[in-house]
Chains A and B, each alone.
Chain A
Amino acid sequence: MEHTHTAEGHEHGQHDASTKAIWKTFWILLCVTIVEVGLAFLHLETGVPPKLLLNGIFIILTIFKAFFIVAEFMHLRHEIKNLIMTILIPLALFVWFIIAFLADGDSWKNMRKDLSPGAARQEVKAPAHEEAHH
């Protein structure tokens, strides 16, 4: 490019920089997905890493991918703070949402286990006032 076309040259420079950022994000997303699938296969073949650890890794990698999609593809990282906060603060409700509901599901499972037919259960003592009533 000749020096007389400085404005155009500047535009091209910007053009290259943001296209580069797009492809970099693409490679990050692709690599993380490949790592996830690779770990899943490793677990299928060898049983390593253990399932609980593996699930933890999957969740962290998923949030990592989500961050890049929202920050770079949806451009949220480059918006002003007001916009970022108005979007992200309500989504923080999910933290409570997930913990509360999964804990609820887990306690239901434990109750159903204890009450299922044939399950070893503790004898429930009849309340004392029941006899007094008769």
Chain B
Amino acid sequence: MDTAVTAKKKWWSGGYSPFNVSYGKLMMWYFLMSDAFTFGALLISYGTIRFMSTSWPDPNEVFRSFPGMGEAHMPLVFVSLMTFILIMSSVTMVLAVHAGHMRDRKAVVKWMAWTIVGGIAFLSCQAWEWTHLFHEGAWWGRNPFSNINGTVASTNFTNFFFTITGFHGLHVTSGVVLNIVILANVLKGTYEERGHYEMIEKVGLYWHFVDLVWVFVFTCFYLL
């Protein structure tokens, strides 16, 4: 697959990929780059509107709940759990890629299964959070939370929150679907026949990107 990297190699004189990766992986990188611009545009427009506003709701007041804890004031705890789940599923993904390099099919199955479990756990957390906020009266076009300075807030806050976490959640969902498809192929023996597990690397790149976006969403909505 990869050719040996030597210092004097003429990468652009033809005969091999000047990027030293397969076509599929390179295109996945380019797709992720375009996706990064999409998320970047969303987050920057959020930032612009927030800079434009004289005041903004306090995330520690809005995101204060934890499942089963009633009215207990627990800012950041639930979202930290979600972050932990997503980081953990990124680790199991990278372990699956690693097992693929070793051509250890059993280990690939194990780590892919854990990655899927992590993805579903994250989506369940998000479903709970959205439902909880919805019952508090928050939705697109509706914002029950007041600004940190006590004034009535516009719906910008909820609109951006649901749009951006929703778009991220959509990425997680399609990531889980892709992971399930790949796992089915591993179980069927498709990659064993093909002689390599590179497909795991491609969906792995996508999965890590989803984790990467979450790192920024976490900071922009819950910390700042």
Give residues in A with beta carbon < 8 Å to B: 11, 15, 18-19, 22-23, 25-26, 29-30, 33, 36-37, 40-41, 44, 55, 58-59, 62, 65-66, 69-70, 72-74, 79-80, 82-83, 86-87, 90-91, 93-94, 97-98, 101-102, 104-106, 108-109, 112-113
Contacts of A44 in B (CB 8 A): 60, 75
- Interface residue B109 (Cβ < 8 Å from any Cβ of A): no
Contacts of B11 in A (CB 8 A): 80, 82
Q: Contact check: which of A62, A72, A74 meets B219 at CB < 8 Å?
A: A62
Residue of B nearest to A62 (CB): B219
Q: Contact check: which of B21, B84, B94 meets A79 at CB < 8 Å?
A: B21
Contacts of B94 in A (CB 8 A): 22, 72-73
Interface residue SS majority, chain B: helix
Q: Is B215 a contact partner of A58 (Cβ separation < 8 A)?
A: no
- Interface residue B177 (Cβ < 8 Å from any Cβ of A): no
Residue of B nearest to A116 (CB): B54
**Chain B nearest Cβ from A8, distance in angstroms:** 11
**Chain A nearest Cβ from B224, distance in angstroms:** 5
Contacts of A23 in B (CB 8 A): 91
Residue of A nearest to B104 (CB): A15
* Complex Cα spacing A112 to B154, Å: 15
Q: Is A33 a contact partner of B83 (Cβ separation < 8 A)?
A: yes
Which residues 79-135 of B sit at the A interface, judged by CB distance below 8 A? 80, 83-84, 87-88, 90-91, 93-95, 98, 102
Q: Is B216 a contact partner of A62 (Cβ separation < 8 A)?
A: yes
